[in-house]
């Protein structure tokens, strides 16, 4: 019995020995295999060791900025902050009182207190607090940080920021806040240049994940995105945006588009649309369309300037020749002038241009330039092709009507054919620039954002020579008469101290039923002008679609208000100032306004007058309390600067002041002001000299020559009579 027990023990021991020996041999051969093959379970041994003891971390780059022509930032990457709340009591700092913490945060985040309390009461280690607690500014983060709330921490993330809000938004476009995707405008089309490439850092760590001191690091530096420098002028763009906002508030149009260009170079100085959007809040965008380049419109009578240029270039136009105005039969259509087809008797062609006579341009198209000539200059002025501007989604040129014999006539005065506002601006550069047409562009250069060195510098590009310098000068003279002289339709667009050359337009709009819309205000009103007329530097195009007009108001009023303010400021910022005698003289002397706050009002006024600035002193005090122009702002000679000295105010005589100047006065002296009409001041209440401390200023404005019939308005309304909505069936023309 005992022998059997010993035998069993021996067998068990031998079994254990054999199993142990087998395991040792297996492990030995496994180690031998690993040592020779250098892999474990198909994975490289060295890589496994490196992954355990090495760590790699991404080094983010920075997306390039977008700048205006003076270097002001229009789009940039900035840090943003997101609240994370620690709820676990194992941490030193955690949210102990959810209700109190929620109440404190709700007061500054403008978030629902109940939602915040619910989040802060969850059974979780850490939570975020919804959209209101994300993408916060540094200022808001600092305000919350100073509240010293237990358990409230901040995570820093990069985000895209547009400091000027609704500012050339259709040009700039936007990205997702985290810059994961570029969505629109130059942000999208130039994404390859603006995007950054992340780098990395590799280092050794111990078993607890701590970086080992003294070990070499491998660093691959990130590559930052390039900066874009635009041709846009921030000051001109801001005036355009502000004036458009005023027009939207007053007239509630369906849409507006405006373009300002440098006549000599084709540089776009300003471009804006309404409706617009704030790219910082892109979730609520209603209009994604940049009307200036992606939308065709019937140009109306603005097209007449190019028909005129073609006739002058061909030598077939004599402005002193006469024709019988009123109406004319072409094929089976009757084309009428805008005063019920009555016309003005036998008048010269120059007067026909001034009055925007469709009969005049019918004669030019049919008998002088002839249809083939009309289409030749449509080609020469680039209306069949896109301009090639460096903005995305430009449409494929104009839609030129030429299916019916009458189309050449209607095209000559701006009906049936449709083109883009940018094509109009490009064509106008030929008239402004002595016959040489310039391609419009918005990007002046691309910079290395790290070194500031130029990667790409863009130069003005000629786009053709449709007319001679002599023709351009002649056309400018005739177009100047439409603005500066009776009976020109462009008189509301005149600017004190400058001669403006330009042409109004009133185009019809096709409604949902496919027919032209009828009724007061249901038109697209426009103006294409340049100044100074003798040697233009600035071109401004403005189009306002279906403004809400009173019966006594003309469609040209909102257009004129935008044009005048934008043109005046553009000339000023380009150092082109009016001569005191009213001649088009270039005076390159601007004056930078210092801060006069706290200084003697008499000495401040004397200093400004010596610089050639008109000073309006308001108040009875002896020291300057406020001034209309901020320190560092530049003003032109003859421009008004208001100094408020406190106390009672003698209301000045506003007669002849522009709306902008009155608005500056009211803001400086902190008075409310209401406006009736547009243009320049003709009446005011209180009367000049009033000393009412809390006076409400009631200002009546009137356009120059407003007592005359608005030619373009009548022109379009007459065209609508009997219109059945077929472009080539009705040839009564537009203004």
Q: Which residues are marked as active site?
A: 301
Q: Does residue 153 sit in helix, strand or coil?
A: strand
Residue 493 has phi, psi (to 5 degrees) of: -100, 5
Contact 504, 715 (CB under 8 A): no
The residue to which tokens 């400004």 are assigned: 608
d(CA 532, CA 264): 12
Q: Other C-beta atoms within 10 Å of 200: how many?
A: 13
CB contact set of 455 (below 8 Å; sequence gap of 6+): 226, 445, 446, 447, 448
Helix (H) or strand (E) holding 593: none
**Alpha helix ranges (H) inside 401-495:** 407-412, 421-432, 469-484
Q: Kindly give the pairing relationship between strand 227-230 and strand 634-635.
A: unpaired
Please, which contacts does 512-516 make with residues 24 or more away whose CB atoms are closer than 8 Å? Answer: 513/725, 514/725, 515/723, 515/724, 515/725, 516/720, 516/723, 516/725, 516/730
CA of residue 560 relative to chain centroid, distance: 20
Please list the residues that pair with 348 across neighbouring strands: 322
> Strand 673-676 relative to strand 640-644: parallel, antiparallel, unpaired?
unpaired
Q: Tell me how far CA of residue 354 lies from CA of 138, 250, 322, 413, 554, in angstroms.
A: 58, 29, 14, 13, 18
Given phi > 0 = left and psi -120 to 50 = alpha, else beta, which region is 593? beta
Evaluate the omega torsion of the peptide bond into residue 532 and state whether it is cis, within 30 degrees of 0: yes
- What is the rounded CA–CA span in Å between residue 667 and residue 352? 44
Place of tokens 């994404």: 191
CA R_g for the chain: 36
The secondary structure of residue 295, as a DSSP letter, is -
b/e code 54-88 from CB counts within 10 Å (16+ = b): eeeeeeebbbbbbbbbeeebbbbbeebbbbebbbe
Distance CA 556, CA 494 (A): 12
Distance CA(723)–CA(729), nearest Å, equals: 8
Backbone torsions φ then ψ of 501, nearest 5 degrees: -105, 130
Phi, psi torsion values for 603, nearest 5 degrees: -65, -40
Which segments of 146-283 does DSSP mark as H helices, in order?
A: 169-172, 185-189, 191-194, 234-251
Q: How many residues does the chain have?
A: 735
CA distance 331 to 731: 11
Name residue, tokens 């080609």. 379
* d(C-alpha 127, C-alpha 153), whole Å: 10
Give me the long-range contacts of 210-216 (CB less than 8 A, separation at least 24): 211/55
Edge-to-edge, what's the strand order for the sheet holding 673-676?
Answer: 673-676, 697-702, 680-685
Determine phi and psi for 491, rounding to 5 degrees. Answer: -60, -35
Q: How is residue 171 written in tokens?
A: 């040009």
- The Cα–Cα gap between 197 and 266 comes to 34
């Amino acid at each position: 019995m005992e022998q059997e027990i010993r035998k069993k023990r021996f067998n068990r021991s031998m079994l254990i020995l054999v199993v142990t020996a087998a395991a040792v041999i297996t492990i030995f051969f496994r180690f031998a295999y690993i040592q020779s093959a250098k892999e474990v379970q198909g994975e490289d041994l060295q890589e496994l060791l490196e992954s355990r003891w090495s760590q790699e971390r991404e080094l983010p780059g920075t997306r390039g900025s977008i700048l205006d022509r003076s270097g002001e930032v229009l789009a940039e990457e900035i840090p943003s902050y997101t609240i994370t709340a620690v709820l676990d009591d194992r941490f030193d700092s955690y949210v102990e009182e959810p209700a109190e913490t929620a109440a404190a945060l709700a007061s500054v985040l403008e978030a629902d207190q109940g939602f915040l309390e619910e989040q802060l009461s969850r059974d979780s280690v850490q939570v975020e607090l919804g959209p209101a607690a994300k993408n916060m500014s540094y200022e808001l983060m600092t305000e919350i940080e100073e509240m010293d709330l237990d358990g409230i921490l901040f995570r820093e993330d990069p985000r895209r920021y547009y400091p000027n809000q609704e500012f050339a938004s259709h040009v700039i476009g936007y990205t997702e806040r985290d810059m994961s995707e570029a969505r629109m405008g130059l942000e999208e089309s130039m994404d390859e240049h603006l995007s950054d490439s992340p780098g990395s850092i590799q280092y050794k760590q111990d078993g607890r994940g701590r970086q080992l001191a003294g070990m070499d690091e491998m660093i691959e530096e990130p590559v930052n995105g390039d900066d874009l420098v635009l041709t846009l002028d921030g000051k001109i763009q801001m005036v355009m945006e502000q004036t458009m906002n005023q027009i939207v508030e007053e007239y509630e149009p369906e849409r507006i588009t405006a373009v300002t260009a440098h006549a000599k170079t084709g540089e776009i100085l300003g471009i804006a649309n309404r409706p617009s959007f704030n790219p910082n809040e892109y979730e609520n965008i209603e209009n994604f369309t940049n009307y200036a380049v992606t939308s065709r419109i019937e140009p109306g009578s603005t097209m007449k300037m190019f028909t005129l240029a073609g006739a002058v270039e061909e030598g077939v136009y004599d402005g002193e020749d006469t024709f019988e105005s009123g109406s004319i039969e072409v094929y089976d259509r009757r084309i009428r002038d805008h005063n019920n087809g009555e016309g003005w008797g036998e008048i010269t062609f120059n007067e026909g241009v001034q009055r925007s006579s469709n009969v005049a341009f019918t004669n030019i198209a049919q008998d002088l330039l002839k249809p083939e000539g009309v289409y030749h200059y449509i080609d020469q002025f680039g209306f069949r092709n896109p301009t090639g501007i460096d903005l995305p989604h430009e449409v494929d040129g104009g839609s030129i009507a030429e299916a019916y014999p009458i189309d050449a006539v209607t095209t000559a005065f701006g009906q049936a054919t449709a083109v883009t506002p940018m094509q109009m601006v490009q064509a106008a550069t030929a008239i402004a620039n002595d016959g040489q047409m310039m391609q419009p562009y918005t990007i002046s250069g691309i910079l290395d954002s790290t070194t500031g060195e130029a990667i790409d510098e863009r130069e003005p590009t000629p786009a053709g020579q449709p007319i001679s310098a002599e023709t351009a000068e002649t056309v400018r003279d005739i177009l100047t008469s439409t603005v500066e002289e009776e009976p020109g339709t462009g008189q509301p667009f005149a600017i004190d101290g400058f001669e403006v050359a330009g042409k109004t337009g009133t185009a019809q709009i096709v409604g949902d039923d496919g027919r032209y819309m009828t009724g007061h205000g249901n038109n697209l009103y426009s103006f294409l002008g340049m100044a100074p007329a003798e040697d233009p530097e600035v071109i401004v195009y403005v189009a306002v679609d279906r403004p809400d007009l009173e019966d006594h108001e003309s469609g040209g009023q909102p257009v004129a208000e935008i044009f005048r303010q934008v043109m005046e400021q553009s000339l000023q910022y380009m150092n082109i100032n009016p001569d005191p005698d009213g001649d088009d003289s270039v005076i390159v002397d601007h004056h930078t306004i210092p801060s006069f706050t706290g200084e003697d009002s008499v000495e401040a006024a004397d200093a400004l007058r010596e610089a050639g600035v008109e000073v309006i002193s308001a108040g009875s005090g002896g020291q300057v309390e406020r001034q209309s122009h901020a320190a560092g702002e530049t003003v032109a000679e003859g421009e008004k600067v208001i100094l408020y000295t406190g106390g009672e105010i003698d209301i000045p005589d506003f007669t002849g002041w522009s709306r902008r100047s009155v608005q500056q006065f009211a803001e400086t002296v902190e008075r409310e002001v209401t406006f009736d009409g547009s243009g320049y001041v003709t009446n005011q209440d209180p009367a000049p000299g009033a000393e009412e401390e809390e006076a409400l200023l009631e200002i009546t404005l009137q356009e120059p020559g407003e007592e005359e019939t608005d030619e373009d308005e009548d022109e379009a309304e007459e065209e609508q009579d009997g219109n059945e909505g077929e472009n080539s069936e009705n040839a009564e023309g537009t203004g």
